[in-house]
Amino acid sequence: MTSDSKNTILVDGERIDLRNRPLAALLAWLIPGAGHFYQGRYTKGVLFMVCILSAWVLGFALGGGHVVYSSWAPGDKRWHYFLQAGVGGAALPALLQANLIKKATNSKTGRTSEDYEPYWGGFMAPPLRPVRESQADEVSAWYARHGAGYEMGTWYTVIAGLLNILVIYDAYGGPLSIPISGRKKESDDEDEPASKETEKAAT
């Protein structure tokens, strides 16, 4: 089997060229829908891009721009980011901010230096250290300022990341290769007369 045949699938009687599957999956992760544009599947590309990025932007706005950040510090295990990162390029600035605050935080005291200044005015920056549930900190201030919007914004961005994982899979594997219009495969049509003759011979 050639490499071209591995990248071409038959769906409902039509051949779909997925081109370079790993590259399509990478593009789909970096920008939702980009992998489908690369494959020439423009309708799906537009649909995925609009829906996923709209959910992402809406969630980001509901949370006041603080719901997406990377942190695994004591008191602030931000596991949500692993799912939010499914959106790809839109979540990458959080990694740069996390690395910056890590360098500016004293490993013994766990306190962020007063000289610390995040990139881009704090865009996707983690809260100042330390973060403790028993004390007022920057996270509690975000919750107080945005209320339920902070929680909703977190889940909107998480859902957007999870949806894009499905989009990545579709870019790599293509749509389900099963009939969707009610038409039978050619092999099914050829086998049908043979099966009828076998039934007659049996009777």
Model confidence pLDDT, tens digit, residues 36-63? 999 999 999 999 999 999 999 999 999 9
Extended strands (E) in the chain: 8-11, 14-17, 72-73, 76-77
Give the distance from CA 52 to its chain's centroid.
8
Chain mean pLDDT for the chain: 87
User: Residue 190: what pLDDT?
Assistant: 52
Copy the structure tokens of residue 11. 């769906």
User: Residue 193: what pLDDT?
Assistant: 58
**Which pLDDT band, with edges at 50, 70 and 90, does 194 fall under?**
low
User: Residue 198: what pLDDT?
Assistant: 58
Please give the Cα distance from 110 to 65 (Å, whole number): 24
Q: Which of 34, 72, 25, 39 is nearest to 53 (CA)?
A: 34
User: Do the beta carbons of residue 18 and residue 168 sit within 8 Å?
Assistant: no
The answer on pLDDT for 116 being more than 90 is yes
User: Residue 55: what pLDDT?
Assistant: 97
Please give the Cα distance from 55 to 155 (Å, whole number): 10
Contact residues for 15 (Cβ-Cβ < 8 A; gap 6+): 8, 9
Q: Where do we find the tokens 């910056």? A: 100
Please give the Cα distance from 104 to 115 (Å, whole number): 8
Q: What's the first-to-final CA gap in the chain, in angstroms?
A: 42
pLDDT digits (tens, 9 = 90+) for 122-169: 999 999 998 877 778 888 899 899 999 999 999 999 999 999 999 999
The answer on pLDDT for 196 being more than 60 is no
Copy the structure tokens of residue 110. 């766990």
Helix (H, G, I), strand (E, B) or coil at 111: coil
pLDDT digits (tens, 9 = 90+) for 25-43: 999 999 999 999 999 999 9
Please give the Cα distance from 104 to 114 (Å, whole number): 9
Range in 7-16, 94-103, 106-115, 187-196 with the lowest mean pLDDT: 187-196
What is the average per-residue pLDDT within 10-35?
90
User: Residue 186: what pLDDT?
Assistant: 52
What is the average per-residue pLDDT within 177-185?
54
**Which pLDDT band, with edges at 50, 70 and 90, does 199 fall under?**
low
**Which pLDDT band, with edges at 50, 70 and 90, does 1 fall under?**
very low
User: Residue 107: what pLDDT?
Assistant: 87
User: Residue 17: what pLDDT?
Assistant: 86
